[in-house]
Amino acid sequence: MIHLKKAPEIKKMRKVGKLAAKLLEYIAPFVEEGISTQAINDICSKWIKEHGAIAGPLNYKGFPKSICTSINDVVCHGIPKKEDLLKKGDIVNIDITLILDGYYGDTSKTFLIGEVSDEAKKLVEVTKKALTRAIMNVKPGERINIIGNTIQDYVTKYRYSVVTELGGHGIGRHFHEEPCVFHHRQKQKGVVLKEGMTFTIEPMINQGKKDVFTDPYDKWTVYTLDGLLSAQFEHTVLVTSKGAEVLTIRD
């Protein structure tokens, strides 16, 4: 069942979405060469507490940290570590999920560390545009497969591939709700988008092949199988009569 949000819930979703966006803005100057992903985690964790919120990932199905940090060939769910220092040329996705007043907001961005290769820069830019294009096509009455179709058709032009193992998700009082949001082309049209739906769109785009695997030891970190780069951007959106309202929009 897809839970449609009405005014009081929408108000809370806007509030938590805005706060998650603010944290991504706040950490930007810290995300530089030489910092460890653990240190970024700790800065976020402190900020989250100071703002009266809770980190969604911490202890979620046993996830050990407050944020996900995914470097280069890590597709998603990277675990912050004190040994993992950012270096020039890296791309790193920072995924923030907050809980405020019982509601979740989820957003992520891929940062460039110092001078990055043209190939990496292009991948990050195309991934960001793929998300923007998908968001622009969200309208009540459209089918949800418009999202995956838009993303796949766009990134395929650059010979990138869309990760199919993980997707976006409904979000609200729970981290992951219905519907599942596929980022790749779907034959089935899927559900009709309706006003009051809230879900994430979070394409993971690979430079090479779409295949991924999960770290057998930590059971979380998802890597590209070919070792090539992967980028991701994520927003939480609300379907309104006019289209998508991006709840996690940054200034």
For ligand MF3, the closer of residues 123 and 170 by Cβ is: 170
Question: Could you tell me which stretch among 31-39, 57-65, 144-152, 222-230 binds ligand MF3 (CB under 6 A)?
Answer: 57-65
For Co ion, the closer of residues 104 and 154 by Cβ is: 104
Residue 24: C-alpha distances to residues 28, 80, 99 (Å) = 6, 16, 15
The first and second tokens of residue 32, run together, are 């530089």
**No. of helices (H) and no. of strands (E), the chain:** 4, 15
As a whole number of Å, the CA-based R_g of the chain is: 17
Number of residues near ligand MF3 (by CB under 6 A): 12
Backbone angles phi and psi of 100, in degrees to 5: -140, 125
In angstroms, the CA 229 to CA 72 distance is: 5
Beta-sheet strands, E only, within the chain: 54-55, 68-71, 74-76, 91-100, 103-112, 161-162, 168-170, 177-181, 198-201, 204-206, 212-214, 222-224, 230-232, 235-240, 243-246
For Co ion, the closer of residues 170 and 210 by Cβ is: 170
In angstroms, the CA 93 to CA 58 distance is: 17
Segment 75 to 104, residues that bind ligand MF3, using CB under 6 A: 77, 95, 97
Question: Could you tell me which stretch among 56-64, 179-187, 221-229, 236-244 binds ligand MF3 (CB under 6 A)?
Answer: 56-64
68 is an interface residue for ligand MF3 by CB under 6 A: yes
From 47, 63, 103, 160, residue interacting with ligand MF3 (rule: CB under 6 A)? 63
Give the distance from CA 128 to its chain's centroid. Answer: 11
For ligand MF3, the closer of residues 149 and 248 by Cβ is: 248
Segment 227 to 246, residues that bind ligand MF3, using CB under 6 A: 234
For ligand MF3, the closer of residues 46 and 60 by Cβ is: 60
16 is an interface residue for ligand MF3 by CB under 6 A: no
60 binds, among Co ion, ligand MF3, none (CB under 5 to 8 A by kind): ligand MF3
Helix (H, G, I), strand (E, B) or coil at 75: strand
Q: What does the DSSP 8-state code read for residue 235? A: E
From 41, 47, 57, 75, residue interacting with ligand MF3 (rule: CB under 6 A)? 57
For ligand MF3, the closer of residues 84 and 95 by Cβ is: 95
202 is an interface residue for ligand MF3 by CB under 6 A: yes
Q: Which residues bind ligand MF3 (CB under 6 A)?
A: 57, 60-61, 63, 68, 77, 95, 97, 106, 200, 202, 234
